Structure formats: C-alpha cells, structure tokens
Amino acid sequence: MNINKYRLLVIFVLSLIGGTFLSPNARAEASEISAQQLYDRCRPLLLDPSSTSPGVTFCLGYMAGFIHGIQVLEVATHTTWLCLPEAATSSESARLFLRYIERHPEEVGESARLELLRALLPVLFCPRTPA
C-alpha cells in the first residue's frame, strides 16, 4: 500500500472513530434521519436561499458531508461515481433533493441518505472509470 493510500485510510478510520465520541443524541440523529426530516430542514431554502437557520445549516452540512463521503469513496476505490461540476454546492444538492422528494412523496419515510443518493444519481452519475 503506497503512502497516500495509507494516509487516506488512516484519515477515514480516524473520522469513523471520532464519530463514536459524539453524544448519543447526535449519533442517533445523524444516523437515523428520515427523508422527511431532511426535507423539512432543507425546505426553507426554497423561500430564502440565504437562510442561516439551524435547520438549513444542518441541511447544508448534511449535503456537504454526503458529497465529501462520496469523494473519499472515489479516491479510496479509484472509481468515479458522481461527475460533480466545479461549481457544485450544498445548496444545489439540497435543491435536487427537495425536487426529488416533491416528485416522490411516497419516499419521505425512507432514509435521508438513500433518498439523497436517489436524487443525485440521475443528475450526476458517471459511468465507472478509473479516477
């Protein structure tokens, strides 16, 4: 294993371990959020894209974390999954998620991360290619 792969693996493992030190409430909220809960937090962005409410801040952080997680996976597996434009933002990801849930209201009880993936893949999916 070359040194860069090793560093990436160490960073990934440390980030996982770090998550175990979150309060039980924070861990439960982060791991069990439904699409409806994420939708409710992101929805104010439709009315005020510059909102900094706690719900919107959570929404944008969730989007950023999700995208960064995909990017770490891509580096670790040498595979490109999402073709992110240079100007991709958390706000744009939230907008795509909101539009998806509005078109698929039957999915609101599902996992937010599953529904976010379903929202982003049709728009940003890349054929599997070496990174």
C-alpha 22/C-alpha 79 separation (Å) is: 31
- Phi first, then psi, for residue 51 (nearest 5°) are -60, 140
Q: What is the DSSP letter of 125?
A: B
67 and 92 in a single domain? The answer is yes
Handedness of CA 30, 35, 37, 43 (dihedral sign): positive
**How many distinct structural domains can be found in the chain?**
2
Whether 50 and 79 share a structural domain: yes
**pTM over the 0.95 mark:** no
Are 39 and 104 in contact by the 8 Å Cβ rule? The answer is no
Q: Is the pLDDT of residue 124 over 90?
A: no
State the pLDDT at residue 13: 47
Measured N-to-C along each axis, helices 112-124 and 90-103 cross at an angle, to the nearest 10 degrees, of 100
Mind listing the pLDDT tens digit for each residue in 6-43?
455 545 544 544 444 444 444 444 567 999 999 999 99
Do 98 and 42 share a structural domain? Answer: yes
Q: What is the pLDDT of residues 42-100, one digit of tens each?
A: 999 989 988 899 999 999 999 999 888 888 887 888 877 777 766 678 898 999 999 99
